[in-house]
Amino acid sequence: MELLSPKVDFVFKRIFGTEENKDILVSFLNAVFEDSGQPLVADVEILDPFLHKDTLLDKESVLDVKARTESGMLIDVEVQLWNRQDIEKRTLYYWAKLFESQLSEGHGYWELHKAVTINVVDFNCIPTEEYHSTFHLREDRTGILFSDLAEIHFVELRKLKEQSVGLERRLVRWMLFFMAKSREQLEALAEMDPAIKKAKTTLEFLSQDEEARRLYEQRLKWKMTYEAEIHGAKAEGREEGRKEGREEGERQAKQEVATRLLRMGLTVDQVAEGTGLSRQEVADILKEI
């Protein structure tokens, strides 16, 4: 039986976001931190992935994997299969909500801990040949670090093959795990790393589960449908944008895609996530169908 891809979000969450597999998460986090020269972590606590709304009008978001280290540092790990042209804004929003979620009424700013967002993406998004980029808040001219409380990582899977790399790097092994095309490749990686071996076992178990495979195929179908619809709608939106302005044209294109996807039976949340429209906007479109 063909193995599911760990790059699909719900598979990723089952491998890295469960209490029984938190040692796998620790290994992956340390691979990222080690590669960028950041301090390693000894343990993590898996947290509720929901970034709850402060008001009724706020957008409620769900992180792929949310965790807290023994020092109090908060970590969000996201996996993205395709480029929805909003990765920068989405990343900043998730990081800001993660950082803000620490502080409740009666607590002081001095209690805030570092917040880290790690994006594992299956497309090129940072204008560099490096497969791993790390961002901090620094002054432009001097490079002085403003604060070490903000940290964002991009791990771009497709750039790995563009470089000459060695398996001695733990992050490289994990990236190859995400991209593995055969059981033989996974076996070789598993022999080199106990955490990857456990991740492989979890992946094999999921691949034999009928419900997991149904969700997986549904997710891939959604991805293919979205890509086809958004490609066509963008062409229409560009033409419309020449007449009414680029932003309005793009919004109309998103609304058209949302209408088509809703008619296909996708949920309001799925359409909102895929198109970048708010849940309320999608709900309003549904009422008109």
List pLDDT tens digits, range 151-205.
Answer: 999 999 999 975 556 778 999 999 999 999 889 999 999 999 999 999 999 999 9
List pLDDT tens digits, range 174-188.
Answer: 999 999 988 999 999
List pLDDT tens digits, range 89-146.
Answer: 999 999 999 999 998 756 889 999 999 999 999 999 999 999 999 999 999 999 999 9
Integer CA distances (angstroms), 5 to 70, 257, 264, 275, in order: 30, 26, 25, 23
E-state strands within the chain: 44-46, 50-51, 61-62, 65-69, 74-80, 115-121, 132-138, 145-156
Q: Where are the alpha helices (DSSP H) in 17-104?
A: 22-35, 87-100
Stretch 71-85: mean pLDDT:
91
User: What local confidence, expressed as pLDDT, does residue 96 receive?
Assistant: 95
Q: What is the pTM of this model?
A: 0.77
The CB density around residue 99, as the number of other CB atoms within 10 Å, is 19
User: What local confidence, expressed as pLDDT, does residue 247 receive?
Assistant: 64
List pLDDT tens digits, range 211-257.
Answer: 888 888 877 776 666 666 665 655 555 545 444 555 666 777 788 88
Would you say 117 and 94 are in contact if contact means Cβ atoms under 8 Å apart? yes
User: Domain ranges in the chain?
Assistant: 9-208, 211-288
User: What local confidence, expressed as pLDDT, does residue 249 receive?
Assistant: 65
Would you say 80 and 86 are in contact if contact means Cβ atoms under 8 Å apart? no
Stretch 41-60: mean pLDDT:
69
